[in-house]
Amino acid sequence: MCGIVGYIGPKEAYPILVKGLKRLEYRGYDSAGVALLNGNGIEIFKKQGKVIKMEGIMPSETPKATLGIGHTRWATHGIPSDENSHPHYSQSKNIAIIHNGIIENYASIKERLQGRGFTFKSDTDTEVLVNLIEDILLSEKVALAEAVRIALNQVVGAYAIAVIEEGNHDQIVVAKKGSPLVIGIGEGEYYIASDATPFIEYTKQAVYLEEEELAILSLSNGMELKSITNEIKTPYVQELEIELESIEKGGYDHFMLKEINEQPKSIFDTLRGRLLVNEGTIQLGGFNEFKNKFLSADRIIIVACGTSWHAGLVAEYLIEDLARIPVEVEYASEFRYRNPIITERDIVIAVSQSGETADTLSAIKLAKEKGATIFGVCNVVGSSIAREAHAGAYTHAGPEIGVASTKAFTAQVTIFTLIALTLARKKGTITESKFRQLINELDGMPDKVAETLKVDAQAKYIASVYKDVANCLFLGRGINFPVALEGALKLKEISYIHAEGYPAAEMKHGPIALIDEEMPTVVVATKTEHYEKVVSNIQEIKAREGKIIAVVTQGDTVISKIADHVIEVPYVDERLSPLVTSIPLQLISYHIAVMRGCNIDQPRNLAKSVTVE
């Protein structure tokens, strides 16, 4: 949902901005632009399309500047176009701004400014904000930072902004509410970005802005941090742990493929230091602090979106089955708008890879107001949801850059397995021998996932057979029903093939009408409690000439005789099975999308971090 980047210091700004924008393209790729400040004033270069398109319009000699800001857009107000691209000038061209977020009351402010003689070149809410700043600067005769602060007190909505001013070579003003903004502190220089990836090779010292904070980054005076209500704050500088290699493709054609293949390691990293097999225990720091709340909770409500919501559904099966605590899983966007009944005895778990999803963040703010205990399961350290939660557990999957989520899903499922087992043991709803068996199996999951990844060639072959279909059905039962939903989401988002996930038994209540010889159905049919029933569901499809791609347990001799294709995965306890059954579905989607010539890491219309509601 838009990426922002900025630099002030002794170095050439443009190469830093461009490299940073490319790393932030996962946040949107409708347009890209930079504003550079030098002796000629503020020069803006911007273009609809990806960063590479913007590079194409740059003069052969890029203007020299040591201060600049850049933006990659995911369109909200106004179509993707050159005019609507950021940065935006103020009317006098003395101020330039980049913005991630939405100014909800932009229309009334625009009208007011138009009445005061301002004209607008774009349809964006951002151009309204920069002119509001200019209007205040001129009418109140205050400095830039103060004008920004006053303006932000007048806007409703979300923003991460960076503002620069003609002739002011010493300063960038930044502020944040609802959208992320991190400041990198180098030697006599500052970086700003939506996440730390644009500056990770330059500095590991970072300050994450909190809600409604404003910072003045000045080469002569250092960093000044305050709230938009003018309360002076002390910056909390933290040491980042991300390594450069983790945000590069490392020889893979796409980030998605790299991230699929990283799953043995990401699951291992999620378990590391938490699953202590030799001692027969699980240590989940953030969880221990609130374990009594969990144990006495009336229910657990899980809120999330997209893939994270699917991981939440897996969690429902795990926690209810093992720990016997009622769980409700809600789309964050629906939860907050239906006046939900939440009490102090509820635990609300927010699941989010990015930790920035606006709907999930708003849902937990609402639940917090009503007294619930908020637990975050996030991947991005220091993200807004992680900071808003009372406690939480990071998934430690490493940066996920491909827009389609893969390793974050399996890491989230891994965390939930740890939570469910911990709760079950504390509540006495699991026998000691079952607990030991499951933690031993969980410990072996990185190896089982590595073994599962060997189905890649088979997945590629299946992809070649079905790459041109118009529709595809995904079925699963029990804990593998969410895996079917996730399989369908992966296929539709990266290959643009219409796909639906269904509980296998629900098929006969409607979707079976879709089945004919053109329609492939991917069925998760591993050896579980529901195995026989799933075999019957497969028979029902075959009786209607549908094509079956079945994910089965190694050595299955029954389904291989009925299905058109089988992909074998290693046997694991049913409760852990999503960690292996999701892998072939990721691979099939990936290969189909490659064969259809789709943009794997940046599918059309999507962005990775959805910071608008």
CB of 176 to ligand F6R, least distance (A): 18
Nearest residue (beta carbon) to ligand F6R: 306
CB of 200 to ligand F6R, least distance (A): 20
β-pair type (346-352, 373-378):
parallel
Decide whether 7 or 375 has the Cβ nearer to ligand F6R: 375
Question: Which span sits near ligand F6R by CB under 6 A: 164-172, 350-358, 451-459, 501-509?
Answer: 350-358
Residues 155-194 that bind ligand F6R (CB under 6 A): none
Specify burial of residue 250 (Cβ count, 10 A radius: 0-12, 13-18, 19+): exposed
How far is residue 301's CA from residue 335's CA, in Å, rounded to a whole number?
10
Tell me which of 357, 422, 528, 553 binds ligand F6R, using CB under 6 A. Answer: 357
β-pair type (222-227, 95-100):
unpaired
Helix (H, G, I), strand (E, B) or coil at 47: strand
Question: Which span sits near ligand F6R by CB under 6 A: 131-139, 354-362, 511-519, 533-541?
Answer: 354-362
**Position 601 contacts ligand F6R (CB under 6 A):** no
Question: Which span sits near ligand F6R by CB under 6 A: 281-289, 303-311, 448-456, 585-593?
Answer: 303-311
Decide whether 270 or 308 has the Cβ nearer to ligand F6R: 308
**Position 307 contacts ligand F6R (CB under 6 A):** yes
Enumerate the H helices of 319-377 as residue ranges: 332-335, 358-369
Question: Which span sits near ligand F6R by CB under 6 A: 164-172, 302-310, 517-525, 558-566?
Answer: 302-310
User: Is 607 in contact with 27 (CB distance < 8 Å)?
Assistant: yes
CB of 365 to ligand F6R, least distance (A): 15
Enumerate the H helices of 290-444 as residue ranges: 291-296, 306-318, 332-335, 358-369, 384-388, 407-427, 432-443
DSSP per position, 197-217:
GGGTTT--EEEEPPTTEEEEE
CB of 483 to ligand F6R, least distance (A): 14
Question: Which span sits near ligand F6R by CB under 6 A: 122-130, 136-144, 290-298, 349-357?
Answer: 349-357
CB of 473 to ligand F6R, least distance (A): 19
Catalytic residue among 2, 305, 378, 472: 2
How far is residue 139's CA from residue 320's CA, in Å, rounded to a whole number?
61
Residues 360-379 that bind ligand F6R (CB under 6 A): 360
Residues 478-497 that bind ligand F6R (CB under 6 A): 489, 493
Tell me which of 48, 76, 270, 354 binds ligand F6R, using CB under 6 A. Answer: 354
Task: Give residues with Cβ within 8 angstroms of 536, minimum separation 6.
Answer: none
**Position 306 contacts ligand F6R (CB under 6 A):** yes
Return the residue matching tokens 């002569």: 220
CB of 431 to ligand F6R, least distance (A): 34
Tell me which of 260, 305, 315, 349 binds ligand F6R, using CB under 6 A. Answer: 305
Query: Quick one: tokens of 332?
Result: 């964050």
Decide whether 256 or 548 has the Cβ nearer to ligand F6R: 256
Decide whether 336 or 530 has the Cβ nearer to ligand F6R: 336
Tell me which of 69, 404, 552, 585 binds ligand F6R, using CB under 6 A. Answer: 404
User: Is 413 in contact with 397 (CB distance < 8 Å)?
Assistant: no
Give, in order, the Cα–Cα distances in Å from 98 to each of 137, 193, 578: 18, 11, 41
CB of 574 to ligand F6R, least distance (A): 24
Decide whether 353 or 582 has the Cβ nearer to ligand F6R: 353
Decide whether 303 or 515 has the Cβ nearer to ligand F6R: 303
Decide whether 526 or 586 has the Cβ nearer to ligand F6R: 586
User: Is 181 in contact with 194 (CB distance < 8 Å)?
Assistant: yes
Question: Which span sits near ligand F6R by CB under 6 A: 206-214, 300-308, 553-561, 575-583?
Answer: 300-308
DSSP per position, 496-553:
--EEEEEEGGGGGGTGGGG-STT-EEEEE--SSTTHHHHHHHHHHHHTTT-EEEEEEE
User: Is 240 in contact with 196 (CB distance < 8 Å)?
Assistant: yes
How far is residue 460's CA from residue 593's CA, in Å, rounded to a whole number?
11
Decide whether 489 or 548 has the Cβ nearer to ligand F6R: 489
Task: Give residues with Cβ within 8 angstroms of 15, minimum separation 6.
Answer: none
Bridge partners, residue 21, by sequence: none
Decide whether 215 or 389 has the Cβ nearer to ligand F6R: 389
**Position 507 contacts ligand F6R (CB under 6 A):** no
Q: What is the chain's length? A: 613
561 is catalytic: no
Catalytic residue among 47, 177, 293, 608: 608
How far is residue 107's CA from residue 43's CA, in Å, rounded to a whole number?
27
Whether the upstream peptide bond of residue 87 has omega within 30° of 0, thus cis, is yes
User: Is 578 in contact with 314 (CB distance < 8 Å)?
Assistant: yes
Decide whether 228 or 415 has the Cβ nearer to ligand F6R: 415
Tell me which of 48, 179, 353, 452 binds ligand F6R, using CB under 6 A. Answer: 353
Count of chain residues binding ligand F6R (CB under 6 A)? 15
305 is catalytic: no
Active site residues: 2, 608
Q: Which residues here bind ligand F6R, judged by CB under 6 A?
A: 305-308, 352-354, 357, 360, 404-405, 489, 493, 609-610
